[in-house]
């Protein structure tokens, strides 16, 4: 298991650690996310009022930082909040940010693999010129 999975970013959470979407205090949408993958999948279909409610209260930042332990995504969400998007613009931007981040963390880092090549016996190559009996020498004047 990778460090990212161990840290909580990609793991499936219990219901008590999941994110629950509301449009306002006491108005639960019926939607919840138990992982970063769930979160990404829910964003396109959520009421934009719910996204606005949670973004501007800092709920996304808190859940991502404290529960998923993903400070890089917290930073990206804070940058988005500074732009003050609303409505569909917010939904589109949030989805793009979270989707790209999710895709980048779920891929194994290609630089973490090192290839080594070991050969027990050296290869010997003989570069002596050997003239074949079937080869006709050609001079530049031909």
3-class DSSP state of 13: coil
Domains contained in the chain, number: 1
Structure tokens that stand for 78 in this block: 């804070």
Q: Is residue 124 part of a domain?
A: no
Helices (H) and strands (E) counted in the chain, each on its own, are 6, 2
Helix axis angle, 71-83 relative to 48-57, nearest 10°? 110
Q: Is residue 123 part of a domain?
A: no
Q: Is residue 91 part of a domain?
A: yes
What distance in Å separates the CA atoms of residue 76 and residue 99, rounded to the nearest whole number? 12
Q: Is residue 126 part of a domain?
A: no
Q: Is residue 101 part of a domain?
A: yes
What pLDDT shows up at residue 106? 84
3-class DSSP state of 22: strand
What pLDDT shows up at residue 14? 81
What pLDDT shows up at residue 3? 44
Q: Is residue 121 part of a domain?
A: no
Domain that holds residue 92: 3-112
What pLDDT shows up at residue 95? 98
Q: Is residue 66 part of a domain?
A: yes
Q: Which residue has the tokens 């138990």?
A: 34
Q: Is residue 40 part of a domain?
A: yes
What pLDDT shows up at residue 112? 47
User: What are the phi and psi torsion angles at 24 (to 5°)?
Assistant: -165, 175
pLDDT tens for the chain, 142 residues: list them: 344 444 467 778 789 899 999 999 999 999 999 999 999 999 999 999 999 999 999 999 999 999 999 999 999 999 999 999 999 999 999 999 999 999 998 876 554 444 454 545 555 655 555 555 555 555 555 5
pTM beyond 0.75: no
What distance in Å separates the CA atoms of residue 13 and residue 34, rounded to the nearest whole number? 5
What pLDDT shows up at residue 142? 54
What pLDDT shows up at residue 129? 55
User: What are the phi and psi torsion angles at 20 (to 5°)?
Assistant: -110, 130
């Amino acid at each position: 298991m990778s460090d990212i999975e161990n840290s909580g970013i990609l793991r499936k959470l219990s219901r008590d650690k999941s994110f629950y979407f509301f449009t306002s205090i006491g108005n639960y949408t019926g939607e919840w996310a138990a992982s970063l993958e769930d979160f990404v999948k829910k964003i396109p279909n959520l009421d934009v009022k719910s996204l606005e409610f949670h973004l501007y209260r800092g709920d996304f930042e808190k859940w991502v930082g404290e529960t998923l332990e993903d400070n890089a995504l917290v930073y990206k969400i804070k940058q988005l909040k500074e732009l003050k998007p609303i409505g569909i613009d917010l939904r589109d931007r949030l989805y793009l940010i979270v989707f790209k981040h999710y895709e980048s963390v779920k891929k194994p880092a290609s630089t973490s693999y090192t290839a080594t090549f070991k050969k027990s016996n050296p290869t010997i190559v003989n570069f002596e010129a050997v003239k074949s009996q079937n080869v006709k020498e050609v001079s530049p004047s031909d």
